[in-house]
Amino acid sequence: MATDDANRYGKASTKVTSVSGRGEESVIHASSIAKRFGDVLAVDGVSFEVRRGETYGLLGPNGAGKTTTMRMVSGLSPLTAGELTVAGIDVSRNGREVRNVLGVVTQQDGLDTDLNSRDNLITYGFIAGLSRAQAEQRADAVLMYFDLTDKAKEEIDNLSGGMKRRLAIARAFMTKPQVIVLDEPTTGLDPQGRNGVWQELETMKQAGVTILMSTHYMDEAAALCDRLAIMHHGKILTEGTPDQLVVRHAGSEVAQVRVSNGARQDVMDWIGRAGFDYREAGAIITVSAHNGARPDLSGLEGVRVTYRQSNLEDVFLSMAGRKLTDE
Amino acid sequence: MVAVHSEYFAGVRLRSIAGIWFRHALVLKHTWLPSITWYFVEPFVALMAIGLGIGALVDDVDGLQYAQFVTPGIIAGSAMFHAIFECSWGAFFRIQKGMYETTMTAPVSTRELAMGDISWAMSRAVITGFCIGTVAAILGWIDTISGVGVLLAAALIGMQFGALGLIFAALSPNVHILSLTFTVVATPLYFFSGAFFPISVLPDWIEPIAWAAPLTPSVHLARGFVTGDLVMSHLFSALYVLALTAVLFPIAAALLHRRLVK
Ligand SMILES: Nc1ncnc2c1ncn2[C@@H]1O[C@H](COP(=O)(O)OP(=O)(O)O)[C@@H](O)[C@H]1O
Ligand SMILES: [Mg+2]
């Protein structure tokens, strides 16, 4: 352990098993993994690869199968089918071994409410295999690293939601893992808490840590992920960089048409005849062109048309036929 | 038997158990002041009230002054309550709050989780036994050598009721069901364990039931150390507790696994 301490976090570590070389090693390799709970096929044959140093996202609505996927990757949930390796370790054969290389942040913070912040880090570090002295040293370093030093002695119940989340992420960082698995880092946080977590993730990214994260916020996926997979009903619908996905599936710009109830059917008929894709949500019809260009709606009269850049929400809408979040 | 066991325990990571024990010890270190009431004040009050109060009304029992008779019983009872509380109530909330899940994100298995908690249950049982035993020793109700024996019995109680507590924690869907651990299990066991009166005074038909109840043999064993004349029945008592734990532990670990690993 001590030998690794010296230079893990200036530069990315070289300990990860190289699969394909050329700086393109895949650290996590999932091949047709599936998980069944009784009648529910929570994950239905999902394949993806996370390369060293990248941040890979699973974007999808509640119930898409993100948590189940991440729990399988962490060796916390046995696979129903498929193959899964993390840093060269076969997860289905040695689920516990995987957690020696992974830092895992579960969807629930799971902080120990009987202990203060610093002791949360120390006990986790000790359980994970650091010596007591190492754990104490490392806890102070991690608190400093993530700007939490003034909360060291704070009881968990006195921390804000954002602080708790940051502490949970800091905890996963105790053992200097090469890979962090992060389930919904900012769900339920206010904008300020969210910002804090994003900063923390950026710090880890800079340190060369490989991150597998899940989210149902499209702006979060766009802001943090180098590549991402869009998940729905236990399947990956599409995969790529955020920009690629938007251009490929939603075009560069979409038009938004505001219609009254009376005019709605006429407008939709018109858009259909013009050969554009459209989706309705409330009083707004979002229109995109197949070729990715800005849809020309100049022939449409009596309605208000605005244009905006396409985003991942449009991608999800066009592929799944529903919105990412319910609000 | 031995072979089966060495296989069952193969690959157990000791650091997991030590780490969980350390976590519990750290919590006690921070909460020692209110914890004194648990470990010491409450059982001390029981010891005083029963030892002195009832002791004044009762002649010698089984050749012991009543206070001497009841001391190992109260230590055994307190040991049981500590162990079962830690592993049912405590563990239930650690499940609910996702704390076990967090512990498992370190390379920890459910079986080690169970062992870690039970190791702490044993420690709690011994700590409370030590606190009460010290007072009893000062009052001349127990001597040091017997005291060590009683603490040994307390450790066994901690192990056995720790495992039992975990079973309840893993099975209870909510706190209402969980509270049955005390009302239906721990409290009746305590009163019919022979802690306060010899089992032999009970009606004939209850006697065998009382003997089979999990706390009774431990009380018998603890009292054996106090009277100083240890016979085969004490050995059998110890073996009974060990055998019961050998049955309860795998059940507890399996139920915990079912609850946590899906
Ligand atoms: N332990 C479980 N038992 C039964 N069904 C489950 C369990 N965990 C998840 N599911 C189901 O699997 C599906 C995917 O859930 P999950 O992986 O939590 O999705 P997400 O994290 O994307 O919201 C959901 O339909 C959920 O109800
Ligand atoms: Mg989830």
3-class secondary structure for A189-236?
CCHHHHHHHHHHHHHHHHCCCEEEEEECCHHHHHHHCCEEEEEECCEE
Q: What is the pLDDT of residues B113-142, one digit of tens each?
A: 999 999 999 999 999 999 999 999 999 999
Rounded to an integer, what distance in angstroms lies between the CA atom of residue B258 and that of residue B262?
A: 7
The answer to whether B262 contacts A114, with C-beta atoms less than 8 Å apart, is no
> What are the φ/ψ torsions at residue A30 (nearest 5 degrees)?
-110, 130
Q: Which residues of B touch A36 (CB under 8 A)?
A: none
Residue B104: list chain A partners with CB under 8 A.
76, 99
Q: What is the mean pLDDT of residues A119-137?
A: 98
Cα B101 from Cα B260, distance rounded (Å): 7
- pLDDT grade for A11, boundaries at 50, 70 and 90: very low
- Structural contact between residues A231 and A218, judged by C-beta atoms closer than 8 angstroms: no
Average confidence (pLDDT) over A148-167: 96
Burial A239-248 (b: 16+ CB within 10 A, else e): bbebeebbee
Ligand 1 atom 27, closest CA:
A63
Taking CB atoms and an 8 Å limit, are B106 and A123 in contact across chains?
A: no
**Mean pLDDT in residue range A151-168:** 96
Query: What pLDDT is recorded for position A285?
Result: 87
Classify residue B7: in a domain, yes or no.
Answer: no
The least confident of A47-61, B77-91, B189-203, B232-246 is B189-203
- Residues A160-181 have a mean pLDDT of 95
What topology does CATH give the domain A2-245? Rossmann fold (3.40.50)
Give the mean pLDDT of chain A. Answer: 88
Residue A104 CA from chain centroid, whole number? 13
pLDDT at residue A247 in the model = 82
> Which of B15, B26, B99 has the CB atom closest to A129's CB atom?
B15
Q: Is residue B2 part of a domain?
A: no
Give the Cα separation of A14 and A11 in Å (integer). 9
Distance from the A242 Cα atom to the nearest Cα atom in chain B, whole angstroms: 30
Mean pLDDT value of segment B203-207: 90
Q: Report which protein residue has its CA nearest ligand 1's atom 1.
A: B262
Q: Among the atoms of ligand 1, which is closest to the Cα of residue A61?
A: 22
Nearest CB neighbour to B27, from listed A114, A122, A128: A114
Asked if residue A116 has pLDDT above 80, the reply is: yes
Tell me if chain B has a CB within 8 Å of the CB of A160: no
> Does A307 lie at the interface with B, CB-CB under 8 angstroms?
no
Per-residue pLDDT tens digits for B145-161: 999 999 999 999 999 99
- Asked whether residue B150 is domain-assigned, the answer is yes
Of A185-194, B8-17, B95-104, highest mean pLDDT: B95-104
Tell me which residue in A74, A108, A129 faces B98 most closely, judged by beta carbons: A108
Q: Please provide the average confidence, as pLDDT, over all residues in chain B.
A: 93
Helix B216-227 / helix B66-84 crossing angle, nearest 10 deg: 140
Q: Whose CA is nearest to atom 5 of ligand 1?
A: A37
Substitution target from A127, A136, A167, A181 for chain B, most B beta carbons within 10 A: A127
Q: Across the interface, which of A96, A171, A175 has its CB nearest the CB of B109?
A: A96
Residue B113: predicted pLDDT: 97
B1 domain residue, yes or no? no
Residue of B nearest to A135 (CA): B19
Most confident residue range from A34-43, A246-255, B9-18, B210-219: A34-43
CA nearest ligand 1 atom 16, residue: A65
CATH of domain A252-309: 3.30.70
Question: Is A99–B106 a contact, with Cβ atoms under 8 angstroms apart?
Answer: yes
Is residue A37 within 6 Å of ligand 1 at its C-beta?
Answer: yes
In a domain, B167, yes or no: yes
The ranges assigned to domains in chain A are 2-245, 252-309
Mean pLDDT throughout A107-128? Answer: 97
Q: Residue A234: is its pLDDT beyond 60? A: yes
Q: Residue A150 has which token pair?
A: 């003034």
Q: Over 60: is that where the pLDDT of A4 sits? A: no
Query: Taking CB atoms and an 8 Å limit, are B102 and A106 in contact across chains?
Result: yes
> Measured between alpha carbons, how far is A10 from A38 in angstroms, rounded to an integer?
46
All residues at 6 or more sequence positions from A82 whose CB lies less than 8 Å from its CB, including other chains? A30, A31, A32, A33, A34, A45, A46, A47
The amino acid occupying position A160 is S
> Which chain B residue's Cα is nearest to A107?
B98
Strands (E), chain A: 26-37, 40-51, 55-59, 81-86, 89-90, 102-105, 179-183, 210-215, 227-232, 235-240, 253-258, 277-281, 284-288, 304-309
**How many folded domains does chain B comprise?**
1
The answer as to whether B10 is a domain residue is no
Q: What is the pLDDT of residue A326?
A: 61
Q: ipTM of this model?
A: 0.92
How many angstroms separate the most distant Cα atoms in chain B?
58
- The CA-atom distances, in angstroms, between B164 and each of B93, B121, B190, B238 are 16, 11, 15, 17
The predicted pLDDT at position A7 comes to 40
* Among candidate residues A208, A255, A250, the one with its CA nearest the CA of residue A230: A250
Q: Which of A114, A115, A167 to mutate to test the interface with B (most CBs of B within 10 A)?
A: A114
Q: What range defines the domain where residue B104 resides? A: 15-260
Residue, of A5 and A159, whose pLDDT is higher: A159
Distance from first CA to last CA of chain B, Å, rounded? 30
Summarised one tens digit per residue, pLDDT across range A173-223 is 999 999 999 999 999 899 999 999 999 999 999 999 999 999 999 999 999
Q: Do A127 and B97 touch (CB under 8 A)?
A: no
Higher pLDDT, A7 or B180: B180
Angle at alpha carbon of residue A48, lines to A44 and A49, rounded to 5°: 155
Q: What mean pLDDT do residues A226-230 have?
A: 96
**A102 and A84 Cβ atoms separated by less than 8 Å:** no
Q: Using beta carbons and an 8 Å cutoff, which residues of B are at the interface with A? A: 15-16, 18-20, 22-23, 26-27, 30-31, 97-99, 101-109, 261-262
**A306 is written with which tokens?**
């605005």
Q: In what order do the strands lie in the sheet with A179-183?
A: A102-105, A179-183, A210-215, A55-59, A227-232, A235-240
